[in-house]
Structure 1
């Protein structure tokens, strides 16, 4: 552990800076073993900040890993400065001045992938959140917004493409084969939105005509061998631009919009103004190399980063505590876009699955925080599912409370009022209030309080008065630093079903679905003229990110599965039923007994298979059992081996009972028609491959022949990879076939780094073959690259998600992960801290596993030289 422990930063201590930077003029001279960065800043004093009597104003800039070569003020050498660890203090000569610094940096040695670094021979940047300080000394904070010009100089033969933010305004040739390009961004931005790329790249080009008639040039850059995988991203970009105009009235504002695909990237993508830099896995896609999931992910991420042009760039966040201001709002926007482009019902299910599995677990763990945190040590640790996904759910609730029309008025007011400014979450909510006339005072508790609220619901029916009551009590568990919680404003959408499964009218207007505004600790809602005791359908569409405790019997859940008009709650009933059965089996195993799966669950899944009225996309989702991660998240105490065993037994029982029907569906949907990433085609492939997964869960060699047939006959990556996964995770282990398909897959795709990520991940996450020894062999394989975040996530992240193998009873999985993270922390602290998450949830596990996990956390905590990233996470976890 470091002797000087990192210190927390608090929201309550926020102060505006003493200086502003009006203009930033940068010159990058790029060489193979270093780069020089010349920075000319036009600095003015913040007139609202007072300087103590008799003191000269001091400009304090931040910088990391910089070699300062020179300092000038107003074009004259300047010596009145102090350079220290992480800072440069310059005595200011007046109210306004020009500060020039020249620094030397070494991008080639930058393994943190923050600031300026090299990826596959290409220079690129990642400056969010605090990477710009690794480029030059600066006021590296989001509330300092400046006009940027950037000149990039490099060897033309090695780096023919030189890119930065804004518009290309000038270029020229130099001696010794070097050239330069100057870029100008006409919009003020904070330093975290700065971007630079230099490399030997090709691009696909298209154009988009905005709603006001301007033509925008669109370019997607990548390495030459990947150029045929950019078409889907381009189509997605144009769809995004049109959707944002139609739904939000937001028009793009520059002459050019560019995307660059980079193999080594800590995140998914980055919304730098006019020059989005993407993890290549989030932009490259073709039917031969990308699954349906990746096609949809590319579409969503392209949209997300484009939407940031307004919700993040034109209006940015005042400080990093406001991160959800841009991320939560933009995730909501990209989620709605994806729902409009594909299946709205399935998109909602996918979003809620992530929330319940990952975000609810975060809320229940040591890193729990509100969507607007009160403090942090390392901001990179707060790029979390709480900030993004729960933040999006909070925006969704505002949309639901106000309605689409008033929400649009609120977003228009927000953009108009704060264009070109660094805003706060309060500014966003205030704009919504002012535009709609609605009071969202109590609703603000969602921004200030951590944890997942619990709604305990009871009901009463009076046969004499024909009145039905729902009694709803809300509570929220204690979280770190917040023992007591004030009541939330929770919009709860409900419906009532009669004995025939029909929706009952809930008011005089005949509405069959209503939103109940739950604001008090206990509320009673009365419905009149209800002729029989109904069954409530609670939290339709998942109208709020809460848990619901209602005493549904298994027969009730079966009824909702078959009859609920709300597709989300129909799916949710199937998940609740399966979870109840699996939890019962786990409890029996803990007690040393065996319990067969409830026959009603097996029958219910058969009914879903036979139900021809169901949308295929929804049917597919209803046939997927709750994941092991979801089961663990909902368990009071996690017994990982028993959870895995019980879920496998249920899957086997469903497959055994409905083998004929499953195979019939698989055969009916097996097609060689041309690939389209269209919603209806995706639904067919998803359902077909879910059926194949059940069939290969059987202990029969014959069902593996179906997977082998699909693998070799596949005309797209979705079907081929699904078949590969089925072979690897089959109930009947055929090692010869496993090796055959893995080797064949490797030979086909070994030159595609993103496909190799999948090849590594499917093995590391496989209960059948992802043992620690096999994972170690994968890390020695030629396709593995320890400097690539994607490869690390594939192997280490895949293994840590492997309920059976990672949680081996000897604790070897935990020790292995700790070893890897201690080594990784010295190179890339961001990735190390994120991969640490599985160990931080040790308190949820059965006692023996708890102790083994805690031992490794203690070992990490007591290690020398921890980064602030890992230090914060491990210290909060113990």
Structure 2
């Protein structure tokens, strides 16, 4: 048996559901292997649907126990049932109730979709289509229902019972069982349903909304880890307050619960009033979490909370509109994090992630528009294009309209679509209404795949004191996009004052394929500073010299473009070689100025483009070994050239003994710069660096410094490295989230022995193929973070990942499919490596009975370039 290519679902074929479900009453009696679910559905024909259509309910691996219509059992000839669906051929053409009883085995649900067990905790994950694994249902986002859920369980096994909405009732039952009833008054699609049952500890507080509602806020975790949830709880409260201040969005229930579980396919889920999180994005202490972990917890807590309006109160009409909730909410969480921390530093981090994840996606076989037109498996479209590029589109919209009109458009969007399933057109219509602007051309950003290119050239006339800046855009030969280009002119002395009537608040909106702007009063040859703040998600092409980049690095008033100038210089040196003295001198002067003022920004300036970022800029065949070697050589040269300054930073930023740890942005910035200095010093002198790193590791009082020192030491082969790795693993043997860092660090060592090291780590007692965190930490880190070894010419790296995908697919198709996306850029590799990658992909494709998730990814990844 060979796996068939999954059929496509097309946006153009959307039509409303033939039936609606106004009310859902669930009775869920939890049991590790025999959970019984009784669903009472209040259905009615949809006036917008087909009046003659049968009732088709979705299912997935379900076992039907009983079925009744309006209280009467249905005869077997009145319906057709299978594990994947339930059909009533002649349903009533009036409102009616359908009672469905199903039986589930949560303990055996390794797919982690629907109702499953994470350790001893019952939990659910229903996005995108997991509710059909609980009961037969119209499992689509445009069917919104009011839910009441009764949960029953053994009191010793699950003393805590949580559901969507507000608690209504709770009580004791015979046989040491108990129950709780939850009611959510806000209509929602099935993908937002959730319940949790288990033995959990919690931390709690109260929050009063702008409307005066008193809200009980709690974060539930594994007993004994309550102290590690304090930062997450604080992040919830800050998110609630910020959403009121920035967007006027108050919370709308009496309780808000967050639950952390250790087995979860995603980062977190925004279920109405009951957010379920991967515990890595909740649990934190100075001993176990890094500064980056604290920042991620803050951002993801905020993201899921912000979904309460952008995703829950206003949801998606269909899954093609996924960017409408995810891209918009990513933009909202980015703005939150920027307000909580350094806006400039955070913006640089956002763009680095976009370029590292989304740009390669746009350039490879898995490319798709921000709003796809077709899909075979929706779980494969939770992508960087939907999330990160979707957020960039919202950011451009704000730039085009200005903050006041943007806020008015958001208010109009929420008001007009509250309680509805909306589309991208509904979103843009709200902004068009308040601004009076025609956004039809701007909407093309949602429809066009690929990364646009923006080219520029300048012509300076010193006699006339004018400078002509010509901008031209292209994307696959299609019509021009609406592209906001924030820009300015810079000279050796700093920003140049020049008059250009085409600019509004420093932004030119490029709507034609090419346009020329004339600046007057330009007293010296200028260097253009383009895409300030990265005002559009495009690739920039233009002929700036090394001297031009050095001017921008030293004098640009836009922090993003100062950083970008450093990255451009580093890319030039990595790709073409040459002396690094001028670059090192410029970095040294920047460190002198910025290290005392903004250490987080200075740390970013010391961070060279990653190997993947360099590969993304290469149009010809990619040789990861050559990139690695060139980057390593540049780091070594900078480490030697900047040694005195780096040693001064190391000494000056050392925290006095007894200084309490704080995850705040200022303290995190100082640690980031000190650790960046250590890493660059070790690159310049590995032998001395190993000793420095070992000493830092020994003296570290928090996980940020400890892991940074171990990471530096991991790049220096020798007995000291192996001893340090072994000691770290033993020290944190009982800390799964810390062991994940340990797994990931070893998986990214760029040495020929790493695949063998990984095979050994697979036998570690803490490693489990059934836990997505472990697989992502070990094999995922190797596939996405170790280009020289993953793509090695003997094919060993490709085989390691392919074998994991094959082993994982039957148990957890979503995790397997996401791991397989690491092959996305295989066609760009040197021929000898690409052949091995293609061989592994074909081997996966030939596996009988592949899941839809993996079959879809492998089929698209192997598709000829002309079919992209």
TM-score bracket for this pair, using the shorter chain length: over 0.9
How far the C-alpha of 1:373 sits from its partner, in A, is 0.3
Q: How does 1:217-296 map to 2 (within 5 A)?
A: 217-296=216-295
Alignment counterpart, residue 557 of structure 1, candidates 549, 569, 580: 549
Report the equivalent of 1:575. 567
Contact 1:503–1:565 (8 Å) recurs in 2: no
The yes-or-no answer on 1:714 pairing with 2:700 is yes
Alignment counterpart, residue 606 of structure 1, candidates 584, 588, 593: 588
How far the C-alpha of 1:27 sits from its partner, in A, is 0.8
Report the equivalent of 2:46. 46
Report the equivalent of 1:653. 637
Alignment counterpart, residue 756 of structure 1, candidates 726, 735, 739: 739
Report the equivalent of 2:355. 356
- 1:386-421 CA-to-partner distances (Å, cap 9, x unmatched) read 000000000000011111111110000000000000
Report the equivalent of 2:413. 414
Contact 1:317–1:424 (8 Å) recurs in 2: yes
| CA distance, structure 2, for counterparts of residue 182 and residue 92 of structure 1 | 30
How far the C-alpha of 1:507 sits from its partner, in A, is 4.0
| Counterpart secondary structure, 2:284 | coil
How far the C-alpha of 1:2 sits from its partner, in A, is 4.4
Q: How does 1:35-184 map to 2 (within 5 A)?
A: 35-52=35-52, 57-79=53-75, 80-84=78-82, 86-90=84-88, 91-184=90-183
How far the C-alpha of 1:485 sits from its partner, in A, is 2.1
| CA distance, structure 2, for counterparts of residue 406 and residue 734 of structure 1 | 60
How far the C-alpha of 1:578 sits from its partner, in A, is 0.3
| CA distance, structure 1, for counterparts of residue 409 and residue 753 of structure 2 | 50
Contact 1:728–1:769 (8 Å) recurs in 2: no
| Counterpart secondary structure, 2:308 | coil
| Counterpart secondary structure, 1:808 | coil
| CA distance, structure 2, for counterparts of residue 871 and residue 857 of structure 1 | 10
Report the equivalent of 1:697. 683
| Counterpart secondary structure, 2:525 | coil
Contact 1:24–1:40 (8 Å) recurs in 2: yes
Contact 1:504–1:512 (8 Å) recurs in 2: no
* TM-score for both structures, normalised by structure 2: 0.97
Report the equivalent of 1:10. 10
Alignment counterpart, residue 630 of structure 1, candidates 613, 620, 623: 613
Alignment counterpart, residue 685 of structure 1, candidates 671, 677, 681: 671
How far the C-alpha of 1:250 sits from its partner, in A, is 0.5
Using the TM superposition, name which of 87-96 and 596-605 deviates more.
596-605
Report the equivalent of 2:866. none
Report the equivalent of 2:865. none
Contact 1:632–1:643 (8 Å) recurs in 2: yes
Contact 2:5–2:856 (8 Å) recurs in 1: no
* TM-score for both structures, normalised by structure 1: 0.95
How far the C-alpha of 1:287 sits from its partner, in A, is 1.2
Contact 2:489–2:528 (8 Å) recurs in 1: yes
Report the equivalent of 2:536. 544
- Give me the CA root mean square deviation: 1.5
| Counterpart secondary structure, 1:696 | helix
**How has the CA–CA distance of structure 1 residues 770 and 555 changed in structure 2, closer, same or farther, with 3 Å as cutoff?**
farther
| CA distance, structure 1, for counterparts of residue 643 and residue 685 of structure 2 | 12
Alignment counterpart, residue 489 of structure 2, candidates 484, 493, 496: 496
Report the equivalent of 1:485. 478
| CA distance, structure 2, for counterparts of residue 433 and residue 558 of structure 1 | 42
Report the equivalent of 2:653. 669
| Counterpart secondary structure, 1:540 | coil
How far the C-alpha of 1:770 sits from its partner, in A, is 6.0
| Counterpart secondary structure, 1:836 | helix
- 1:266-322 CA-to-partner distances (Å, cap 9, x unmatched) read 000000000000000011111111000000000000000000000000000000000
| CA distance, structure 2, for counterparts of residue 217 and residue 770 of structure 1 | 52
**How has the CA–CA distance of structure 1 residues 578 and 189 changed in structure 2, closer, same or farther, with 3 Å as cutoff?**
same
| CA distance, structure 2, for counterparts of residue 581 and residue 206 of structure 1 | 53
Report the equivalent of 2:803. 819
Contact 2:497–2:521 (8 Å) recurs in 1: no
Contact 2:639–2:685 (8 Å) recurs in 1: no
How far the C-alpha of 1:49 sits from its partner, in A, is 2.2
How far the C-alpha of 1:804 sits from its partner, in A, is 2.4
How far the C-alpha of 1:746 sits from its partner, in A, is 2.1
How far the C-alpha of 1:619 sits from its partner, in A, is 1.1
| CA distance, structure 2, for counterparts of residue 198 and residue 50 of structure 1 | 40
Using the TM superposition, name which of 524-533 and 449-458 deviates more.
524-533
| CA distance, structure 2, for counterparts of residue 78 and residue 755 of structure 1 | 54
Contact 2:314–2:418 (8 Å) recurs in 1: yes
Q: How does 1:741-752 map to 2 (within 5 A)?
A: 741-752=724-735
| CA distance, structure 2, for counterparts of residue 312 and residue 721 of structure 1 | 36
- 1:224-250 CA-to-partner distances (Å, cap 9, x unmatched) read 122110000011111101100001110
Contact 1:490–1:517 (8 Å) recurs in 2: yes
| CA distance, structure 1, for counterparts of residue 273 and residue 364 of structure 2 | 38
Using the TM superposition, name which of 428-437 and 529-538 deviates more.
529-538
Using the TM superposition, name which of 84-93 and 642-651 deviates more.
84-93
**How has the CA–CA distance of structure 1 residues 48 and 399 changed in structure 2, closer, same or farther, with 3 Å as cutoff?**
same
Report the equivalent of 1:480. none
| CA distance, structure 2, for counterparts of residue 849 and residue 629 of structure 1 | 16
| Counterpart secondary structure, 1:17 | coil
Contact 1:282–1:301 (8 Å) recurs in 2: yes
Contact 1:365–1:840 (8 Å) recurs in 2: yes
Contact 1:68–1:102 (8 Å) recurs in 2: yes
**How has the CA–CA distance of structure 1 residues 282 and 669 changed in structure 2, closer, same or farther, with 3 Å as cutoff?**
same
Report the equivalent of 1:588. none
| Counterpart secondary structure, 1:443 | coil
| CA distance, structure 1, for counterparts of residue 599 and residue 196 of structure 2 | 43
| Counterpart secondary structure, 1:176 | coil
Report the equivalent of 1:365. 364
How far the C-alpha of 1:679 sits from its partner, in A, is 1.2
| CA distance, structure 1, for counterparts of residue 202 and residue 752 of structure 2 | 40
| Counterpart secondary structure, 1:225 | coil
Contact 1:609–1:662 (8 Å) recurs in 2: no
| Counterpart secondary structure, 2:225 | helix
The yes-or-no answer on 1:767 pairing with 2:750 is yes
| CA distance, structure 2, for counterparts of residue 508 and residue 642 of structure 1 | 47
- 1:19-49 CA-to-partner distances (Å, cap 9, x unmatched) read 0000001111111222111100000101122
Contact 2:615–2:627 (8 Å) recurs in 1: yes
Contact 1:597–1:650 (8 Å) recurs in 2: no
| Counterpart secondary structure, 2:151 | strand
How far the C-alpha of 1:614 sits from its partner, in A, is 5.4
Unaligned runs of 5+ in 2: 863-868
| CA distance, structure 1, for counterparts of residue 571 and residue 332 of structure 2 | 31
How far the C-alpha of 1:184 sits from its partner, in A, is 0.4
How far the C-alpha of 1:513 sits from its partner, in A, is 5.9
Contact 1:491–1:517 (8 Å) recurs in 2: yes
| CA distance, structure 2, for counterparts of residue 770 and residue 168 of structure 1 | 55
Q: How does 1:509-528 map to 2 (within 5 A)?
A: 514-528=506-520
Contact 2:3–2:850 (8 Å) recurs in 1: no
How far the C-alpha of 1:526 sits from its partner, in A, is 1.6
* Aligned residue-pair number: 854
| CA distance, structure 1, for counterparts of residue 690 and residue 655 of structure 2 | 19
How far the C-alpha of 1:5 sits from its partner, in A, is 3.6
The yes-or-no answer on 1:23 pairing with 2:23 is yes
